[in-house]
Amino acid sequence: MGGAQMSDVSMKSCAMLFQCINGSINFGITRTQISSRCCSTDLCNSQNIPVLNNSNPNGRRCFTCNSQDCAATLDCLGEEDRCITTKVEVGNKKMDMKGCASKSVCIGGAAAQMGGSMTGDLNCCEGNLCNYSKSIEVSLFLLVTLAVSIVLLQ
């Protein structure tokens, strides 16, 4: 959180294949990395998993939310190759969250891995700034309409 590691949790258990995730989810204010290894024989999970440390910007950009709106942008890190939109429940309040995520988070069981605070679906998309909000889409539409009108009136 804020560039500082808040916790490091190591767990060993039985899991379904879709829960085997190696990647991260980055909302700007907080970034969670999940590194797992799955195996298919009895007691095969005795080894520790190496920690993911790739935190270099990769050129992808996504929208993120702050306390006012979801119009800020975020530089994605490491293998975060998707933009994400979801709702998070904090206490009794639901709030929209946007940011970057790895492909495996989008197709895997990430909501279960995140401690159950996410509600609803994780919506992932490919492409820079593809997780735009409707208000930005409307503003862009109005700007383009205004520009076309000016050109036609001249």
Tell me if 11 is assigned to some domain. Answer: no
Distance CA 104, CA 125 (A): 13
**pLDDT, averaged in runs of 10, over the chain (154 residues):** 69 79 87 84 84 82 90 94 86 85 78 50 89 56 45 49
Tell me if 130 is assigned to some domain. Answer: yes
3-class DSSP state of 35: strand
pTM metric for this prediction: 0.72
pLDDT at 83: 96
Overall domain count for the chain: 1
φ, ψ for residue 134, nearest 5 deg: -60, -35
Tell me if 41 is assigned to some domain. Answer: yes
Tell me if 116 is assigned to some domain. Answer: yes
Tell me if 1 is assigned to some domain. Answer: no
- Cβ count near 31 (within 10 Å): 21
pLDDT at 21: 78
Tell me if 129 is assigned to some domain. Answer: yes
Residue 31 is part of a domain; what is its CATH number?
Answer: 2.10.60.10
Domain residue limits at 70: 17-153
Tell me if 90 is assigned to some domain. Answer: yes
pLDDT at 144: 46
Supply angle C-alpha 137, 143, 144, rounded to 5. 90
